[in-house]
Amino acid sequence: MTEDDTSGSYCCLWKRRTAFVTVALCGLVGFVLIAVLDLPWEVKRTMHVVDIANSLIPTKNTTDVDNSLIPTKNTTDVADRLIPTKDIETILPTTNASRLNSTKDLVEVREFKLKTYPPLIESGGDLVVSWERNSATTMTNHDYVTLSCGPTTEEGDYFYNKTVRVSDLSVRFSSLYMMRCNYTAIYYYYEEMSGKHRAIAKVEARMKEPAETPKHGHLSFTDDEKAMAIMFNSGTSKTPMVKYGMKPDDLKFYATGTSTTYGADDMCHAPATTVGQIYFRDPGYMHTVIMTDLKPNTYYFYQYGHEEHGLSQVHRFKSRPLSSYKYANFIAYGDMGAFAAFYGGSESTAARVFKDVVEEEYDSFLLHFGDISYARSQGHVWDQFFHLIEPYATRIVLLICAVVEPAYADEYGYTEGGKHDLSGGMLPYGGSFNPSWGNFGADSGGECGVPMHHRWHVPKTGNWIYWYSFNYGGIHVVQMSTEHNWTRGSEQYKWLENDLEQVDRNVTPWVVLTAHRMMYSSQLNIEPDMEVSYHFQEEVEDLIYKHRVNVMLVGHEHSYERTCPVYRKKCVENGKGTVHLVVGSAGYPLGPDGFSSKYGNYSLRHVNEYGYIRVTSSPNDMRFQFVLVENGNIYDEFTITPWEDS
């Protein structure tokens, strides 16, 4: 080969190599362009996309959970980076995967291996969801993890969510309760090119206890003073039963009971009729068993549940005393709510109440006269609420009255669908009590009292849970409903009048009236509520004065306030008027405004602090203490004496 030939060969080889490199570079650039431009489009074609505009997920960088649903404790914590020990990871299937140029490339970039800790969730416990990712994984500050429990109706149906930061390796969901289902966490990845989220991985977290486990136990009085009712919830309709006796290791008595439930179609209107994670969910079954032939004023031990699925732990209660017994120690409050629904003081209140019941023996009964759970048509909040009160509601009777919060949905008010109102309170226009001077409205979110109706048992002395009365230890307690018509001539007014006329002061020297809305308050900036109060005074005050009601306990305003013995806005001597107590301070966020004498000079003590009242009564006096939840101190203490004979 000549030198010219060699040069030509080198030249040819160089040209070929140059061409090859050029082709290779072009191919690489093309591949990158395809990866950048085509992948989101392919993802959009092959994965279900959650539209941000139709979700409740924040797109800004935040670690907060959904503001209306998640408990405040442990929402962001270094402990979120706990490494779980059990992997029950499942990758969501990819639909139309054959349309992808390379499914493998998608997995390499997006695949997470989700894990949960602990392996089994205790009721009320926390769940940590963590993930592993390789070096090729990309994340954004707009990713999030959702949590659901039980069946979902559509993609993106959940009730908890937490936004994920790029630096996060886990998220923590706090205070998860038994809702007769297992929890599912789904990781949603945010695609910046499309501005959409898509689910890329999910994991199931199982509850430690099965759905049939008896939960939410709470005691109640019955018509029979020698009996006691226990109500509880479970995921089975099997016959409920209870074993009871006077020794914890000798539960020799046995009783069975009845069960009930309700569906979305039983509610009055949306959103309570909307099936899904947020609103209506299967409530399981509510069971009632009556323990009979109880000895008076005696401690009993008991277990409840199902023969086929096991019983609860052993609890203790004290039976009602004979009518000749004139002593009682009870607790009362309003406006509690469930701590996972609102960021108030309900959890702290529950802890202090439990301590008073167990250590201080305030174990006669407990009155909750206002805004029970604040479920606002969100079914899971009822599960959270009963988990909260169960420790002491299985030791003492907890009695409620039907209530509502204006402008914020709670348990009863509605404007349509009144045929579902089990109280019979529907007015001709199809809604509940809502006079022109009132501020009632559709405040139950469509629940219209249905969950309450099925979840409580009360003495059958009036209109079920809506208005009724009972006697205990020399006290006649009347629970009325300010959310039903109480004006003169109404069904409830006539019942109240008749009930008070039947009181025998030799048997019950004390009369305690409870309701949700107040007759007297001096709190500022509550003019719509004050308008209702003025009408309440005009319609009902003469009646309670005539029948010498000693004290009226109410909630509604989220504060504590005590009046002098008062009649027609003027203070009277002790024993000649009714003392009014506002105790709407058990959990819901406190009122922001102060108090003023412009409404009248009847207010003696008032404060915007979380708390509840403890009451000790004897034939000669009734002593009240307002307990501050924050430190257990007594903010207000006073004693009243019986009404003087006229």
pLDDT tens-digit profile of 487-542?
Answer: 999 999 999 999 999 999 999 999 999 999 999 999 999 999 999 999 999 999 99
Q: What is the pLDDT of residue 435?
A: 82
More confident residue, 276 or 92: 276
- In the predicted model, is pLDDT for residue 63 greater than 60? no
- In the predicted model, is pLDDT for residue 263 greater than 60? yes
Residues 141 and 281 in one domain: no
| DSSP-derived secondary structure for 364-379 | SEEEE-S--S--TT-T
Of 361, 374, 332, give the one whose Cα is nearest residue 349: 332
Average pLDDT, integer, range 589-596: 95
CB neighbourhood size of 122 (10 A): 14
Is position 245 within any domain?
yes
CATH code: domain of residue 526: 3.60.21.10
Task: Give 444's DSSP letter.
Answer: T
Rounded Cα gap, residues 386 and 270, in angstroms: 24
H or E stretch at 53: none
Average pLDDT, integer, range 449-453: 91
Lowest mean pLDDT among 281-285, 416-420, 605-609: 416-420
- In the predicted model, is pLDDT for residue 33 greater than 50? no
Domain that holds residue 274: 215-640
Q: What is the pLDDT of residue 342?
A: 55
- In the predicted model, is pLDDT for residue 444 greater than 90? no
Q: How confident is the model at residue 30 (pLDDT cuts 50, 70, 90)?
A: very low
Residues 139, 166 contacting (CB under 8 angstroms): yes
Residues 529, 598 contacting (CB under 8 angstroms): no
SS3 434: coil
More confident residue, 615 or 23: 615
Q: What is the pLDDT of residue 136?
A: 57
Residues 391 and 450 in one domain: yes
Residues 49, 194 contacting (CB under 8 angstroms): yes
Give the predicted TM-score (pTM) of the model. Answer: 0.81
Residues 151, 194 contacting (CB under 8 angstroms): no
Average pLDDT, integer, range 311-327: 98
Rounded Cα gap, residues 216 and 532, in angstroms: 35
Rounded Cα gap, residues 141 and 164, in angstroms: 6
- In the predicted model, is pLDDT for residue 472 greater than 80? yes
Is position 443 within any domain?
yes
Residues 563, 602 contacting (CB under 8 angstroms): yes
Average pLDDT, integer, range 577-585: 98
Q: Is 103 exposed, middle or buried (0-12, 13-18, 19+ CB in 10 A)?
A: middle
Residues 161 and 182 in one domain: yes
User: Which residues lie closer than 8 Å to 418 by C-beta, 6 or more apart?
Assistant: 268, 425, 426, 427, 430, 431, 432, 448
CATH code: domain of residue 173: 2.60.40.10
Q: How many helices (H) and strands (E) does the chain have?
A: 8, 34
Residues 230 and 180 in one domain: no
CB neighbourhood size of 262 (10 A): 21
Which residue, of 181, 207, 233, is where some domain finishes? Answer: 207
| Region of residue 150 (phi > 0: left; psi between -120 and 50: alpha; otherwise: beta) | left
Structure-token pair, residue 343: 């960021």
- In the predicted model, is pLDDT for residue 409 greater than 90? no
Question: For the chain, what is the mean pLDDT?
Answer: 82
Which residue, of 175, 207, 239, is where some domain finishes? Answer: 207
- In the predicted model, is pLDDT for residue 286 greater than 90? yes
Residues 223 and 369 in one domain: yes
- In the predicted model, is pLDDT for residue 16 greater than 50? no
Q: What is the pLDDT of residue 147?
A: 97
SS3 295: coil
Residues 196 and 333 in one domain: no
Residues 195 and 283 in one domain: no
SS3 25: helix
- In the predicted model, is pLDDT for residue 36 greater than 70? no
Q: How confident is the model at residue 430 (pLDDT cuts 50, 70, 90)?
A: low
H or E stretch at 164: strand 160-164
CA distances from 567 to 386, 486, 542, 551, 574 (A): 38, 19, 8, 12, 12
Residues 405, 529 contacting (CB under 8 angstroms): no
- In the predicted model, is pLDDT for residue 590 greater than 70? yes
Q: What is the pLDDT of residues 339-382, one digit of tens each?
A: 644 557 999 999 999 999 999 999 999 999 988 999 989 999 99
Structure-token pair, residue 523: 């709190």
- In the predicted model, is pLDDT for residue 275 greater than 90? yes
Is position 28 within any domain?
no
- In the predicted model, is pLDDT for residue 135 greater than 90? no
Residues 327, 361 contacting (CB under 8 angstroms): no
Residues 203 and 219 in one domain: no
Is position 386 within any domain?
yes
Residues 404, 444 contacting (CB under 8 angstroms): yes
Q: What is the pLDDT of residue 172?
A: 97
Q: How confident is the model at residue 93 (pLDDT cuts 50, 70, 90)?
A: very low
- In the predicted model, is pLDDT for residue 221 greater than 60? yes
Q: How confident is the model at residue 468 (pLDDT cuts 50, 70, 90)?
A: very high
Which residue, of 207, 225, 251, is where some domain finishes? Answer: 207
Is position 318 within any domain?
yes
Q: What is the CA radius of gyration of the chain?
A: 31
Structure-token pair, residue 63: 């670690």
Q: How confident is the model at residue 646 (pLDDT cuts 50, 70, 90)?
A: low
Is position 306 within any domain?
yes
| Terminal Cα distance for the chain, rounded | 139
Residues 220 and 125 in one domain: no
Is position 286 within any domain?
yes
Lowest mean pLDDT among 21-35, 405-419, 443-457, 482-496: 21-35
Which range, 1-10, 187-196, 618-627, has the best average confidence (pLDDT)?
Answer: 618-627
Q: What is the pLDDT of residues 225-242, one digit of tens each?
A: 999 999 999 999 999 999
Q: How confident is the model at residue 139 (pLDDT cuts 50, 70, 90)?
A: confident
Residues 517 and 615 in one domain: yes
Which amino acid does the sequence have at 555? Answer: G
Is position 646 within any domain?
no
Q: What whole-number percentage of the chain has pLDDT above 90? A: 66
Residues 315 and 407 in one domain: yes
Residues 203 and 232 in one domain: no
The number of distinct structural domains making up the chain is: 2
